[in-house]
Amino acid sequence: MRPSELRQDLISLDWVVIAMGRAKRPHAFASSFPFVHDAKETCPFDNLEKFGNEKPVLQYGGKADWTLKVFPNKYPAFMSGFADCPVMLPKGPYNTMEGRGFHEVFVLRDHYKQPAELPVARLHELVHAYAERFRMLKEEGCVNYISIFHNHGRSAGASLTHPHSQLIAIPVIPPDISRSLEGSDRFFAGERKCAHCTMIEYERKEKSRIIFENSSMVVFAPFVSRSAFEMRIFPKEHSPHFETMSDREERSLAEALKTALHALNKGLKNPAYNYFIHTAPTRDHSHGYYHWHLEIVPKTQVWAGFEIGTGIEISTIGPESAAKFLRSFV
């Protein structure tokens, strides 16, 4: 039996286990549950006015032949807008803050086609909409961080199967982002270079974990993968802020995202997944050491007692094998 290998992340300094002795064949991770679509007739995203959705804040295409609409979430996690910036208040030994911000939904027109199945032009439109709404909402004085994410499949948290992404703008910096910023800053202070640029340089030299690259973007399975078939998309040029992409870079991101999701869809038979963008906060522009990126995390495993009790995740396939398998579908 091959020994497991502990790998430490450059930024978080967290450890993960690549369990060589428990390694599975790539095909073993394929979804065994068929993807069942919600009925189109009762889908609130196919009957926007009937279900009482607000008017779109952004729309691509005509009134009848629209391709993408963005509108406020009917059931928001954060109440919309700010009269004044929320103030942190003590409650016993704890701190509280009013949950205000912005929660928006990006609805793609086709009820059945997931991002993996769309042409690059439609994904370019989606990426452009992300950046356009990001630039608009970051001007709100109380917004400190904007999270953009996409849930695919019930086990990934998608309450509706109609393809849609979400944006949540909030007055605080999330803990995962704080740790990423702190780790990136620590690495830069010690090495005088960007940690993510260092990863990209190493991966492009090694090549074994690279899945796809084009003129502006590179897709790879991280050396320290938290879960099987995890992928990350990075701009090759250093940039802290996602929303500053040029149109050419947006199209390159759309092509990279399409390629990665298509490979995942074909290789693992349409598994549930989440993708999300990690970028620098909106209000403080002192994060030159940071490097924005998009992470794709398929639901290939469930945390058990060891993972929950220690925070050390176990992957039963090496990222090198995962990348090789996914490359066969590119």
Active site residues: 164
Among 165, 150, 169, 167, which Cα is nearest to 45's? 165
SS3 319: helix
Taking the C-alpha atoms of residue 269 and residue 152, their distance in angstroms, rounded to an integer, is 13
CA 232 to chain centre: 9
| 269 neighbors 225 (Cβ within 8 angstroms) | no
Sequence-separated (6 or more) residues with CB below 8 Å from residue 275 = 149, 150, 257, 261, 294, 295, 296, 297
Distances (CA, A) of 178 to 70, 145, 170, 266, 290: 28, 11, 14, 35, 11
Output the CA–CA distances (angstroms, integers) from residue 271 to 46, 137, 208, in the order listed.
24, 32, 23
